Amino acid sequence: MFTGIVEDRGLVQGIEYRGGEKRLTIEIPSHLTEVGLGDSISVNGVCLTVAQKEGTRIVVDLSTETLERTTLGGLRVGERVNLERALRLSDRLGGHIVTGHIDGVGWVTEVKREGDFLRLRIKLPKEASRYVVEKGSIAVDGVSLTVNEVKGEEIELALIPYTLEKTTLEERKKGDRVNVEADILGKYVEKILGERRQKKEGLSEAFLMEHGFFGKE
Give me the residue spans of the domains in the chain: 8-85
pTM for the model stands at 0.88
pLDDT attached to residue 205? 67
What type of residue sits at position 214? F
Q: Tally Cβ neighbours within 10 Å of residue 101.
A: 13
pLDDT attached to residue 213? 66
DSSP SS3 for 27: strand
- Type and span of the H or E element at 166: helix 161-166
pLDDT attached to residue 171? 95
Q: Please, are residues 82 and 181 in contact by the beta-carbon 8 Å criterion?
A: no
pLDDT attached to residue 214? 61
Q: How far, in Å, CA of 205 to CA of 203, rounded?
A: 7
Q: What is the dihedral of CA 57, 73, 104, 86, to 10 degrees?
A: -10
pLDDT attached to residue 216? 55
- Type and span of the H or E element at 127: helix 126-129
Q: How far, in Å, CA of 43 to CA of 157, rounded?
A: 21
Give the pLDDT of the chain (217 residues) as one tens digit per residue: 999 999 999 999 999 998 889 999 999 999 999 999 999 999 999 999 999 999 999 999 999 999 999 999 999 999 999 999 999 888 888 899 999 999 999 999 999 999 999 999 999 999 899 999 999 999 999 999 999 999 999 999 999 999 999 999 999 999 999 999 999 988 888 888 777 666 666 666 677 677 676 655 5
- Top CATH class, 8-85: mainly beta
